[in-house]
């Protein structure tokens, strides 16, 4: 009878230890999921900000190109003696912008 009581206590103790270990593992999984969610949010925010910046730069470049085309169409036909240096500087600005 003592032997069966010892086995029952041993099994109960093993079950208790297994439950504690399981709860510890579940806690670690939850912490990992929280960290992963925070990291994913950080990277998604960073990517969206970078995408927004690039879209703004693309719009700025398009507006600059339209302005430059308008300037060229207004000045070149009217002023045939337009300075070569001015033309070159406009091209340089266009290429470096």
- Whole-model pTM: value is 0.47
Determine the Cα–Cα distance for residues 15 and 11; give it in Å rounded to an integer. 6
Spatial contact of 82 and 76, defined as CB atoms under 8 Å apart: yes
Query: What domain count does the chain have?
Result: 1
Q: Positive or negative CA dihedral for 22, 27, 30, 36?
A: negative
pLDDT, tens digit, 9 for 90 and up, residues 41-69? 999 899 888 888 877 777 777 777 777 77
pLDDT at 30 over 90: yes
Q: Max alpha carbon distance in the chain (Å)? A: 117
Mean pLDDT computed over every residue of the chain: 79
Owning domain of residue 27 = 2-96
User: pLDDT band at residue 96, thresholds of 50, 70 and 90?
Assistant: low
């Amino acid at each position: 009878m003592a032997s069966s009581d010892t086995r029952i206590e041993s099994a109960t103790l093993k079950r208790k230890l297994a439950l504690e270990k399981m709860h510890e593992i579940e806690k670690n999984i939850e912490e990992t999921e929280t960290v992963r969610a925070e990291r994913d949010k950080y990277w998604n925010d960073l990517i969206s900000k970078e995408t927004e910046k690039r879209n703004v730069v693309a719009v700025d470049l398009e507006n600059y190109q339209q302005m430059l085309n308008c300037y060229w169409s207004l000045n070149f036909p009217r002023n045939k003696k337009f300075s070569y240096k001015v033309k070159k500087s406009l091209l340089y600005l266009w290429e470096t912008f």
